[in-house]
Structure 1
Amino acid sequence: MDIREATTADIEGIRTVAHHSLAASYGHVLEDDIIGQAVERWYDEETLADDLNDADTEFLVAAGDDRLVGFAQCYVVDRRDVVGEIDWLHVEPDSRGSGLGDRLLSALERRLLEHGVGRIEGRVLADNEAGTDFYENEDFEAVGERTVEVGGEPFVERLYSKFPDTGGRQVLTEAATLPDGRQVYAALDESLRGSDGPFYTVYLDRDRDERYGYLCGNCDSFAVSMDTMGRVVCNDCESRRKPTRWDASYL
C-alpha cells in the first residue's frame, strides 16, 4: 500500500472513498441524499484543486491495486501556536481494520511536524463510534463538544486534541482585556476558520461557563458580529468566517 501526496488525478478516487466512508460511518443517522450533498459540496473539483495547491494543506492518499482506498486531509493554521486541523481521515469500509488509518495518521503527523505544528486537532460526530474510538486509540484527548446541525437535525461533534511533541495537554486559554477594561478568556482550542485568520471563542470566566463572543485572530479585535445565519465577520478588518464541514451553508 502506497501512501503519497494527493494530485488532481486523484480527485474522482477521493470522492468515491469519501462517499463510501461517510455512508459506512454515518449511514445509520444520515440520509443518503445528505451524504451525497456533502460529497458534492466538499469534494467538488474546484475545491479539491485549491486544497491540493495550498501550501498550508496536507493531503495524503493511500493507493493499492490501482485504486484509492483512503485519504487524510489537514489544514495548518496559525492560532498563536501552529495547529494541524484534521478535516477528514477516510478509509474504504473493506480496508478498515487493516491498520491503514494508523498509517495515514502517522504519515500525516510526520508531515505536520515539518510545518512546526505543536498541536493536532480532529473532529468527529459523537454518533460515529468507530471515529471516536480511532482518535482515542491514537492518544488524542477529547477536549470539547459542540452541537452542529446536519440536514435540519442536531448532532454532537466531539473535538479531539493531541500534542505530538509533549504527549500531554497544555493550557489552551489565553487571558485578554476588553476595551472597557474587563478581563476575558480566549479559548485557543475553540475557533472558527476565517478568511484572514481564526476567530477564537471568548468567555467571561476561565472555566468557560459564560460566553462573551469572539476574538479576531487576524487583528485582535473583539468587534466581531454574528448574524442569525451564523455568518461571522470582524467589523474592523472584515475577515469572515469560512464554511466548514457540516455547516448549514454547505448542506
Structure 2
Amino acid sequence: MDLREATADDVGSIREVALASLAASYGHAVDETLLSEAVENWYGADDVDEDIADPDTVFPVAVVAGEVVAFAESYVVDRRERVGEIDWLHVHPDHRESGIGSALLERVEDELRDRDVDSIEGKVLVDNEAGTAFYEREGYDLSGERVVDIGGEEFQERLYRKRIGRDGTLREGIYETADGETVYVAFDEGERGSKAPFYVAYADADHESRYGYFCGNCEGTNVAIDTMDAVECLDCENRRKAARWDAAY
C-alpha cells in the first residue's frame, strides 16, 4: 500500500470509493438514492479538481496494486483557534480492517500538525458504528452531538476532536441581528466558507437553542441553508458547499 497526494486523474476512482464506502456504512440507514445524490453533490469532477488544487486542502489517497482504494480530505479553518477539519476519510469496503484507515489518518494528522493546528476534528453519523469506533480507537474524544438534516431526514451526528497543539482561547461573541434579536456566536463551532468561516449562532447564552449561522465575512445572520446543508450568506455571497456528513469510512 502506497500513500500519495491525490491528482486530477484520481477523480473517477475517488467517486467510486466514496459511493462504495457510503453504501457499506449507511446502506442500512440511508436511502440509496440519497447516497448517490450526495456523491454527485460533493464529488462532481469540477469540485474534486478544485479541492485537489487548493493549497489549503490535505488530500492523500491510498493505492493498492495500482488502484485508489481509500482517500482522506481535510483542511485548516481559522476560528478563535486553528482547527484541522477532516471532511472525509473513506476506505473501500474490500480493503477495510487492513490498517489503511489508520495510515491515512496518521498522514493527515502529520500534515495538519505541520500547519500548526491546535486540534483536529471529524464528524460521523451515529449510524456509522465503525466510524465512531475508529475515531475512539485513534484517540479522539467525543466533544458534541447534534441533529443534522440530510435530504429532509434527521440524523444524529457526533463530533470527535483531538487536541494536538497549544491550547487556544475559545470565545463567544454576542451580536444583535437586523431584526433586533440577540444571538450568541460560538467561535469554536465554525465551518469553512468561500470568503470566511460560518460560525454557529445560538438564541440563548447556554447554547441550547440553535439560531442558525453567523457569517464571519460580513458579520451578519442573513444566512440560508438548503436541504443538503449547503450554506450561503445572502448579503455577501459567502458560501459553504453541501455538508459532507461523514469523516470516517
User: TM bucket by the smaller chain?
Assistant: 0.7 to 0.9
Partner of 1:131: 131
- CA deviation after TM superposition for structure 1 residue 9, in Å: 1.2
Q: Which residue of the partner structure matches residue 156 of structure 2? A: 156
Match of 2:197 in 1: 198
Q: Contact (CA 8 Å) 2:81, 2:170: kept in 1 or not?
A: no
Structure 1 pair 119/162, CA: closer, same or farther in 2 (3 Å)? same
CA deviations on 1:134-184 (whole Å, 9 max, x unpaired) are 111111111122222234321111111111236x8x66443446599x996
Matched residue, 2:144: 144
Q: Aligned ranges for residues 44-59 of structure 1 at < 5 Å? A: 44-59=44-59
Mapped contact 2:184–2:205 kept (Cα < 8 A): yes
Hey, what does 1:117 align to over in structure 2?
Answer: 117
CA distance in 2, matches of 1:33, 1:2: 33
The residue number in structure 2 matching 1:93 is 93
Q: Which moved more, 1:31-40 or 1:56-65?
A: 31-40
- 1:77–1:153: structure 2 CA closer, same or farther, 3 Å change rule? same
How far did residue 205 of structure 1 move? 5.1
Letter in 2 for 1:174: E
**Deviation of the 1:235 alpha carbon:** 6.4
Q: Which runs of 5+ in 1 are unaligned?
A: 247-251
**Alignment correspondent of 1:218:** 217
**Range with bigger deviation, 13-22 or 190-199:** 190-199
Q: By how many angstroms is 1:57 displaced?
A: 0.7
Match of 1:17 in 2: 17
SS in 1 for 2:59: strand
Which ranges of 4 or more aligned residues in structure 1 deviate by more than 6 Å?
227-231
Counterpart residue type for residue 215 of structure 2: C
What TM-score do the two structures reach when normalised by structure 2? 0.84
- 1:240 is displaced (CA, Å) by 3.7
Q: Secondary structure at the match of 1:245?
A: coil
| CA pair 12-125 structure 1, distance change in 2 beyond 3 A | same
By how many angstroms is 1:199 displaced?
Answer: 1.6
Q: Structure 1 residues 177 and 108 mapped into 2: Cα distance closer, same or farther (>3 Å)?
A: same
Give the 3 Å change call, closer, same or farther, for CA 18–234 of structure 1 in structure 2.
closer
Query: Looking at both structures, which has the greater relative contact order when contacts are Cα pairs under 8 Å and sequence separation is at least 6?
Result: 2
The number of residues matched between the two structures is 243
How has the CA–CA distance of structure 1 residues 225 and 65 changed in structure 2, closer, same or farther, with 3 Å as cutoff? closer
Residue pairs, 1:97-108, within 5 angstroms: 97-108=97-108
User: Which residue of structure 2 lines up, in the alignment, with residue 83 of structure 1?
Assistant: 83
Q: Which letter does structure 2 place at the counterpart of 1:36?
A: S
TM-score of the superposed pair, with normalisation by structure 1: 0.84
Query: Does the Cα contact within 8 Å between 1:183 and 1:204 map onto a contact in 2?
Result: yes
Check conservation: 1:74, 1:85, Cα contact below 8 A.
Answer: yes
RMSD (CA atoms): 2.7
Pairing 1:58-69 to 2, within 5 Å after superposition:
58-69=58-69
> SS at 1:208's partner residue?
coil
Q: Identity of aligned pairs, percent?
A: 50
State the partner residue of 1:249.
none
In 2: Cα distance, 1:56 partner to 1:87 partner = 13
